Structure 1
Amino acid sequence: MNTTSTGSPDHTRDEPPLKGLELRSCITRDGNLNLSLIEFDVAPPAHDEVIVRIEAAPLNPSDIGLLLGPADLDSVTATGSGRDRTLTAKIPPAAMDALALRLDASLPVGNEGADVVVRAGTGAADLLGKTVSVAGGGMYTQYRRLPKHQCMVLNEGVSPAEGAAAYINPLTALGMVETMRREGHHALVHTAAASNLGRMLVKICQKEQIPLVNVVRSDAQLAALKELGAKYVLNSESPAFDADLTDALAETKATLCFDALTGGPLAGRILVAMEKALARGLPTYSRYGSSTHKQVYMYGSLDSRPIEVPRVGMAWGIGGWLLFYFLDKIGPQATQALRDQVNAELRTTFRSEFKTEISLSDILSPDVLREYTKRSTGSKFLINPTRDA
């Protein structure tokens, strides 16, 4: 099992052993990615541990990154069938050096999931039979053993599918707003804004009266966010985008952007527009530009190209932002407060939508892989490991 316990197993119940299937990703030293299912024995829970049957786990972009790594998806082949299928793809030689620490390691995948607690140690017996949302990795599995404190008990009537994505997207959206406040900004820009996460951020900012500039990539996405009540929605493919963006930034005073792309020219265009918007309020010309700091945080990887940034004055920055690092920074008490907010609004603000539900063995289908790696807005997949029973 993929959880290491610090306590001894709790043998207070004479229960038959559990067996389950789990998805594993391995990149070999000879440059191949292998995806397969393994059958494993589920170790009994320790005193403060539970075993959760996993019925629902989202396939997030961050999960795809670990699942497939930098594999060349045009080289995918499959052998075997069903739960015995193995999916193989080539790793580009130039990418191998960066993978040194994971070579030949069989890694579990999946950040989050949800279902019912089916076994519990004596110190966690109050969770037995409860439907919980869990996070901690290794969720593409039929059973997950983990400490009690990593479970969030879902409200009465909330299904595993509704609670499956209660961690990554909701806490990322809340983390963006909290980062804005902690760093002294007063408004936000968000790219790929028509995603599940983007819709959550729209609702949060509406409720808390935070100006939000949403950047999308099509008129259909623009219309969807307008229907949701978003005030500022801009299509980056429009010829008027740069001018409209500058106007929106001048109105909102937004100097912080969270970018889901991580490559290409968009981050640079946003920084330029921020500088132009700020320049409208400068009393005199300065060759150094505005002294107000402008920041773009990259939190996704939808675009693998290098980041392109022109000269934008001297007060700006581009950096990475990762949810797990942010939560470590704010500490367990503040993290729990955010999780409580998510739980209370799981069917409203933090509601997730999925394109389709698949099984663990479906992940190993080349045809299904081509669908879930499109990474297009509104196409998120939900994995149900119980379908492989």
Structure 2
Amino acid sequence: MPAPPRPVHEQQETAPATASDSDGTKMMRKFFLKTPNHDMNKVELEVRRVPLPQPKKGEVLIRVSAAPVNPSDYLAWLTTEKGDKPIGIEGSGVVVASGGGIVARSLVGKTVGFVAEETGSYAEYVTVDALRECFPLTAGVPVEDCASFFVNPFTVIAMLHTVQKAQKAKVFIHTGASSHLGQMMVKLCKTMDVTVVNVVKRGDQAKMLKDLGAEVVVSEDDPEWTSQLKQVIEKLDIKVAFDAVGGRMSGLLMSMLPAESTTYVYGGLAKDPCVSDVPALDLIYKKKLLKGFLVVNWLTDCGFLVTVRRARYALRLVNEGLKKGGWAESHFVDCKPEEMQAEFLKMWSEKGFTGSKLRIRFD
């Protein structure tokens, strides 16, 4: 197929597009959030034909193989903010061109995972910063199976690093633990001498985690679950919790945990504010903390050298975990771009995403 025009800076390899406009402009397919809405059934997504992006110096052009639909993606559609913006946070593909620069040139031809939150990862091609947003991936793993390399695996690593290094602990609570992230957490904790106390909604989710090797699981469909969790906290002297639920759960965790404990909120599945149930006296007199947690902040709010060390450390663990049967392996339901919204709504309304997640295939 014909190659796109050469960018302003050096290009190492041609990058074929799937179509051209009548004036010769190379075009590609890209997703946009046309109409956000608090009702998922009223959300409108649109696949448009747009010009192929060109990498600037220090950037690479990636031919996207696949991109996952994560909770952090679709929960952002449930808003009243203005729409008409690109969507998708992460994906995987092959670097087909460089805009110039040592790092960018070295990545041409390599299989990579990438983060493209600002420009959107749901596209046939993306341009990203070669140093900060592009991550070389392990050989021997199909490129499409690396699509979920960042959001969930890096968050798991960031949490465990926080537990072990910042909190100097070996046990913590994790809510919403039946998610893909929660399943990865159970698997990785088994290799790192860390105990995770998993809180889930239902008994079938508890069984699934136990089958993965989870040591402690508390299910909210048990009438005595709060008493059970309180007993576990006291027995194991737990002082750290990561809450994916938010709402009343955050305040409940804070009230259960002992003095000088920290509750990290990294999700809002409840869609309700957690402030109303935060015990004020615990904050004042018992030195309890309620903090937000975001993997990007863990990775970047520590100076350049520490960021590089953390990224290399995390990438090494992820590359090992992406192999067949590894802790970072994900299970996907594949769809074509044009089928994505219909397939997503089907999973959203019928079977959910506990056992698998939706993956858009662009290859």
Aligned twin of 1:319: 291
Aligned twin of 1:130: 110
Contact 2:13–2:108, Cα closer than 8 Å, also in 1: no
Contact 1:372–1:379, Cα closer than 8 Å, also in 2: no
Equivalent residue in structure 2 for 1:107, among 79, 85, 88: 85
Aligned twin of 2:153: 170
Q: How many residues align?
A: 326
Equivalent residue in structure 2 for 1:338, among 306, 311, 314: 314
Bigger radius of gyration among the two: 1
Change (3 A) 1:304 1:373: farther
Aligned twin of 1:116: 94
Equivalent residue in structure 2 for 1:309, among 249, 252, 277: 277
Equivalent residue in structure 1 for 2:338, among 358, 361, 371: 361
Shift of 1:260: 0.9
Q: Greater RCO between the two (CA within 8 Å, min separation 6)?
A: 1
Is 1:53 matched up with 2:31? Answer: no
Equivalent residue in structure 1 for 2:75, among 29, 42, 65: 65
Q: Percent identity?
A: 27
Contact 2:156–2:185, Cα closer than 8 Å, also in 1: yes
Deviation track 1:127-165 (CA, whole Å, cap 9, x = no partner) reads 333221111221100111123223222222211232111
Aligned twin of 1:21: 29
Is 1:267 matched up with 2:250? Answer: yes
Is 1:35 matched up with 2:45? Answer: yes
Aligned twin of 1:139: 121
Is 1:299 matched up with 2:299? Answer: no
Change (3 A) 1:147 1:184: closer
Aligned twin of 2:139: 156
Shift of 1:112: 0.6
Contact 2:176–2:201, Cα closer than 8 Å, also in 1: yes
Equivalent residue in structure 1 for 2:214, among 230, 233, 242: 230
Aligned twin of 1:214: 198
Contact 2:12–2:105, Cα closer than 8 Å, also in 1: no
Shift of 1:232: 0.8
Deviation track 1:203-230 (CA, whole Å, cap 9, x = no partner) reads 2222121121111111111111112211
User: Using the alignment, how far apart are the partners of 1:22 and 1:229 within structure 2?
Assistant: 40
User: Using the alignment, how far apart are the partners of 1:21 and 1:174 within structure 2?
Assistant: 33
Specify the code of the residue in structure 2 equivalent to 1:130: K
* Uncovered stretches (5+) of structure 1, i.e. residues with no partner: 1-6, 71-90, 92-98, 276-291
User: Using the alignment, how far apart are the partners of 1:272 and 1:297 within structure 2?
Assistant: 14
Change (3 A) 1:64 1:368: closer
Specify the code of the residue in structure 2 equivalent to 1:328: T
Specify the code of the residue in structure 1 equivalent to 2:291: G
Contact 2:12–2:98, Cα closer than 8 Å, also in 1: no
Equivalent residue in structure 2 for 1:44, among 35, 54, 57: 54
Q: CA RMSD in A?
A: 2.6
Change (3 A) 1:258 1:23: same
Shift of 1:185: 4.7
Normalization by structure 1: what TM-score? 0.76
User: Using the alignment, how far apart are the partners of 1:26 and 1:61 within structure 2?
Assistant: 18
Shift of 1:111: 0.9
Shift of 1:34: 4.6
Equivalent residue in structure 2 for 1:189, among 173, 197, 212: 173
Contact 1:212–1:252, Cα closer than 8 Å, also in 2: no
Shift of 1:37: 1.7
User: Using the alignment, how far apart are the partners of 2:50 and 2:143 within structure 1?
Assistant: 23
Shift of 1:33: 6.0
- Secondary structure in 1 aligned to 2:55? coil
Aligned twin of 1:88: none
* Uncovered stretches (5+) of structure 2, i.e. residues with no partner: 1-6, 18-25, 37-41
User: Using the alignment, how far apart are the partners of 2:49 and 2:339 within structure 1?
Assistant: 16
Shift of 1:47: 4.3
Is 1:385 matched up with 2:359? Answer: no
